[in-house]
Structure 1
Amino acid sequence: MKKYIIFTGIFVMGGLLAGCGATQGKDIGKDSAKNIAFEEAGVTEDQVSRLRVSKDRDDGRVVYEIDFDAGETEYNYDIAAKNGEILSAETEKRDSFANVQPNAEPAPQTQKESGSQEQQNTADSQTDTALSQATENTQPQTPVQGNSQNIQTAISQEEAQKAALARVPGAELKDLYMELEIDDGQYIYEGDIVYQQTEYEFEIDANTGDFLKWSEETY
């Protein structure tokens, strides 16, 4: 009889310890974590695009990393998995494509040799004539819309966007972000698509339309 009582006591104590362990390991879940982030940002899920939710450890704590766009603002939150505490919050205003300028260093300015203003004007006129003749037989190119520098590219912004989205069935323009960049003197469209917990990064040659890079990462 005594053995039976002792066994029962151990069983009950073990159950209590297991219950404590379950409480300590409580996880709010990714749906609750993203809703906390939406509420903090003052947005609803139908206003959000490019949503990424991932689970990670930070300083020994399990956290949910919530990233999304709303309008032209990017939001990044770290939410404690244990109790939903917001550990960090960051926002970044993104420019629309029309306002994005290529990251290129300006061409170095060379000092003209001393001479009369008339000689300098003559040299400039000859240079303009040579450039005009050199481009007479080239195919017309499409300017990038909204770019104050009037950069000429054979592949337009819209064509590059369509080519990228065609690789991700179901993705829409709101899921894509793209910039015009200069790499080794070559214009490229660089950007990413975030759709259904997968991020697709790409680079497109702005003069040929060829994909120079395409990668995928699922969260």
Structure 2
Amino acid sequence: MKLKTLFTTPKRAIITSVCMLAILAAAGTATAFAAESIAKSNSIGTAAAEEKALLDAGVSSADANFGYTDFDFEKGSFVYEVEFTANGIEWEYVIKASDGTVLSRRAKVQQGYADAITPGLDTGDTSAPVSEESDAAADVSTPETSTPETSTPETSTPETSTPVQEETDIGLEAAKNAALADAGVNAADATFTEQKRDRENGVLVYDIDFYTSTTEYEYEIDASTGAVREKKSELRGGQTQPDNTDIGLEAAKNAALADAGVNAADATFTEQKRDREDGVLVYDIDFYTATMKYEYEIDASTGAVRERKSEKRNNQTQTGANDIGLEAAKNAALADAGVNAADATFTEQKRDREDGVLVYDIEFYTSTTEYEYEIDASTGAVREKKAESKTQTGDNGAYIGLERAKEIALSHAGLSAGEVYLSKAKFEDDDGVKVYEIEFYKDRMEYEYTIHAATGRILEFDAEYDD
């Protein structure tokens, strides 16, 4: 009778229904939290899930750099989502929380690691095939509460998913070979920029991108059959020649002088450096005579003039007699530092204007020290200088030194010093941590490394294809 009194008037009936819905919603939320808490307490744990992923990937914990490991509820199961990188490969795993079963995995080769192997995916190992988006029977079902039509709530029946059928996978190497065969390209002539397994409209595929000396290719290969689903090719524009075809700085200076019709004895050089412009290796050559200023961009492979600019010198420009020139400025800096030219590697040498005064900015380093100088272009006097030691004692002993840092970066990239163009090698303080910043190019691939100055450990690295 008391229950009926709650519905004796329309107003009471509405208030009673609203209250009951609120109670049911709260109960459902509490049930969900309780289910997750129970599942988590009965799960294998974060550390075990990471270990399962590493074991499946064939990666040691020492080589792995974990991004995150999250506990989640996905497609009827409580799971761990595990992401990490190792040896140039990005891994993404979904691990069943109750028993550690690998429900899905994805491996993507990072740029700059075209030869990296993805264990279990490209070796033909089918002892425990896993689809990228496989389901499994539910561990714990979270009950869903339906909206009651009357005062009595209805509870839906928990659903369980059917295990996904195993998919055939030809493997990464077979997919690469299929793309090469279709393009008519030998493996020795190809440089791979992307090779990853993916899913396109529900179909498992391999995305294979590579280039030769003349052409760029993009392929989508069916992971089950090896058939070409999509392909694209285009001629490369402004491709980079290998560094062993570099004419050298002196030849580049001579090419600029010849084009300008200027004798070397009449020229004062203000900038001479090797650079990369739109993926092409070039020399920037700037100089002046008593009457003219010249700026040149010379192709480092052929010696051809890519760009030129010349203008008459105005009265505000100092005459050649009042400018000591770049070489004299470099010598003034070396003399002040007490460093032999043979022991110095120059990272910057340019003419500039500081507070209306013509100066030369000269930066170089030795095996132990980095130097920065500002030299008066008229007198050769040292206006500013800075020296920073790279062999001082750190928390874990002496720093490894710039040369060793370069060796570590090159070894990790699988390259030698003769194969690359070094664009940056610097000792820096990164939020209180002493590091070496190393940057270099190989063909059209740019590499960037941050290396711990005391331990030599690689803290960050990136390899990016410069298109």
What band does the TM-score fall into relative to the shorter chain? 0.3 to 0.5
Larger Rg: 2
Q: TM-score, normalization: structure 1? A: 0.42
Q: TM-score, normalization: structure 2? A: 0.23
Q: Determine which structure has greater relative contact order: mean sequence separation of CA pairs < 8 Å that are 6+ residues apart, divided by chain length.
A: 1
Q: 1 or 2, which has the higher helix percentage?
A: 1
